[in-house]
Amino acid sequence: MAPNLCPWMKLQTGVRAITMTDIVGSIIFLIMITSSVVDLAFNNNDVEQLGIPNDKRILFGAILALLILGFLFGTQIMASIHLYKAASKNDNLTRGFWPWLAVTSVIILLFFFLFIEGLRLMMLGPALLFLLITIYKIYAVLVLISFKRSMKARERAVAVVFNSPRGGQRKSGSVGRAQVV
């Protein structure tokens, strides 16, 4: 049996809470990214005031990077919704787990890089925020792996019971659900 990394609640409830947190967090990041793209695209006076040269290539690169981040967090929302539905139905997590894990792995790497960059630039507030998000995402991955293992263990236990000689048969001799094809 996989360890329960959410001892204060059922593992299934923990997975649903994580996916809801991912959805809300990704929506917040999408709003911030959208406002940044709009600000960069239509108000480049702020860029000049910061001492950054108003080069169209730099501006295009910044907008492109923000759009890629927007796509990443949009994908995170879709993967989290799919995973939430699978966890709510005790369904096969394989369909929702792998896309979520792929997107979350990229986000973990991104926020870890931003944490290192924040430390390098001596921006300790943002660096701490990026570190906390990275730790949360790693914890979320561990919770989901634990839930997936517990689902597999449950499926194996059910398969053993239904494949036993008397598994699924009632005392009256009628055939149970497991043996009906």
Please list the rounded mean pLDDT of every run of 10 residues in the chain (181 residues).
Answer: 72 88 91 81 62 66 82 89 82 75 92 90 88 94 87 71 58 46 35
Predicted confidence at residue 49, as pLDDT, reads 59
Residues 6+ apart with CB under 8 A from 108: 134, 137, 138, 141
Predicted confidence at residue 181, as pLDDT, reads 35
SS3 120: helix
Contact 29, 66 (CB under 8 A): no
How many Cβ atoms sit within 10 Å of the Cβ of residue 25? 18
Predicted confidence at residue 52, as pLDDT, reads 57
Predicted confidence at residue 177, as pLDDT, reads 46
**Residue 13: which of 25, 21, 24 has the closest Cα?**
21
- Cα separation of 74 and 57, whole Å? 25
- Cα separation of 117 and 151, whole Å? 39
Calculated CA dihedral for residues 49, 53, 59, 60, nearest 10 degrees: 170
- Cα separation of 34 and 51, whole Å? 23
- Cα separation of 159 and 139, whole Å? 30
Phi-psi region of 6 (alpha: psi -120 to 50; beta: other; left: phi over 0): beta
pTM tops 0.75? no
